[in-house]
Amino acid sequence: MKISLAQINYHIGNFERNISKIIDGIKKGEMDGSDIVVFSELAVSGYPPRDFLEFSDFVNQCQDAVNTIAKKCTKVAAIVGLPTYNNNAKGKPLYNSAVFLYNGKILSITNKTLLPNYDIFDEYRYFEPNNVFKVINHKGKKIALTICEDLWNVQDNPLYSVNPMDELIDQNPDFMINIAASPYNYHQTKIRKEVLRKNAQKYDLPLFYVNHVGAQTELLFDGGSLVINSMGETIDELLYFEEDFRTFDLKDVLSHKNVEYTENERIEIADIHDALVMGIRNYFHKLGFTKAILGLSGGIDSALTAALAAEALGSGNVYNVLLPSKYSSDHSISDSIKLCENLNMPYDIIKIEDAVSAFESTLDPFFRGLPSDIAEENIQARSRGVILMALSNKFGYILLNTSNKSEAAVGYGTLYGDMNGGLSVIGDVYKTQAYELSRYINRDKEIIPENIITKAPSAELRPDQKDSDSLPDYDILDEILYQYIENRKGPKEIVKMGFGKPLVDRILKLVNTNEYKRYQTPPMLRISTKAFGMGRRMPIVAKYLG
């Protein structure tokens, strides 16, 4: 028996495109002499469809799509994920299902048992868990088919009271297939492979695993579909951050034949880079946009964002606007111009002094003679925001937000100013990671000017301003933030790690009291285990550590 894995970049709700890609995969399987072509979780709809699932029209179109696909399965079988109706009198209205297609029709339906309801996942909002377990018989082989989370209950801290494979193993399956939508974060690849390896060893069965690839707004799917033999050895692994298709002979996998596969250790910073580039490219292309605009300040964050966007969209499609004020340093302008020249990106220089003066003169009678403070500083940032949004509107560009995670965490940014944008490219990238990414981009030659990387960061909204005036060094700040945000450690635990109590209390208070700002930010491409956005749900009006 031959089994093909189809790792595809789906588009949520784009049924015509998704159907076409799935049918193309079936045709490839036929050409390879495959018996089964395997597609990923909720392939027909794209993942996650979220509240589209509340529309019966959407679910009906999924059903119509799979009926169309089934008609193409005459020479080869296919496993395809989609939402299906729960026709029982009780329970949630839908199942997260996988259909087995052959002889032009749906032969069986397998429903997902374990429905994740944490971080970015909220599947129990829509789906009813499965309670019927049955292997699939095809051409003399028994297949244990599961869906994503169904294999994840083998870790040291199990979240569920049931294991689908514990139910299926009594039916003596010959191998496992798992279809998944497992989003990327920079720890996930290693964890995912270990979970899959444990399953293969525990049940003494080979495993064929298919994951999504591509970006769905802020969620980034890295692919990395793979085949593991019953000893837990990786037989082969599909590409990361790209579509891929490969066919495997079951007898080779069953005989533990390793197809000259050498497992390479993933390089974390390279994966983060590739994930962000894919995220930008997919966000634009799936929305039907081609050109980006951003404010280039001469700092590392906007330089990094520009470089990533140029790789994703093409240098000519990234319009950089330099917006100097009277506080901008000469090198901020010259460094920005050098970056644009290095990447052959278009740019313009628009001085903001006239706009700032107009706002200040308009407001002067109403500021009642109070001394200059953050209000005047923010007028500069908001003047830049007005200019960038005007250009965005006029020419149909998407404005890229350039704030990093460290700044977003502590509120070091101006609402309706430098926090504007249609997409936050590095909003889940800590400042220390921004430096590491910039070095990675410069690994072969200087793209981001060295002076941008080495100079002290500054918002340049007042004379001689430095980030260090308001914040601790970023290596200290980022570690405190990481322990609080990603590891959910409280202030006492963080102090025990060696950080001063006054500093910890101040930083954590800043994180919590600036939730209202993050609530209004554009979607952030997710690369961490706990990103701001859909996976971190905090109250705005709260007192905890505030």
d(CA 228, CA 193): 9
- The rounded distance, in Å, linking the Cα atoms of 243 and 448 is 29
**Among candidates 407, 396, 411, which has minimal Cα distance to 300?**
407
- Indicate if 41 belongs to the active site: yes
Cα separation, 3 vs 453, in Å, equals 48
Catalytic (active site) residue 128: no
Separation of alpha carbons 316 and 309, rounded Å = 10
Residue 111 forms beta bridges with which residues?
A: 97
In the block, tokens 């169309």 appear at 68
Q: Which helix (H) or strand (E) holds 287?
A: helix 268-287
Pairing assessment for the beta strands 2-7 and 244-249 based on DSSP bridges = antiparallel
Helix axes 431-441, 300-313, angle to 10 degrees: 50
**Is 112 assigned a catalytic role?**
yes
d(CA 138, CA 132): 19
Beta bridge partners of residue 320, listed in sequence order: 294, 347
Choosing from 62, 73, 148, 340, the catalytic residue is: 148
Rounded Cα–Cα distance for residues 121 and 254 (Å) = 34
Calpha distance 40→529 (Å, rounded) = 22
Amino acid of residue 96: N
Sign for the CA dihedral angle at 468, 473, 478, 481 comes to negative
* CA 475-120-222 angle, 5° bins: 75
Q: Which of 21, 41, 338, 431 is catalytic?
A: 41
Q: What is the 3-state secondary structure (H, E, C) of 309-349?
A: HHHHHCHHHEEEEECCCCCCCHHHHHHHHHHHHHHCCCEEE
* Token pair listed for 235: 């037989």
Q: Per the residue annotation, which of 21, 112, 338, 530 is the catalytic one? A: 112
Which residues are marked as active site? 41, 112, 148
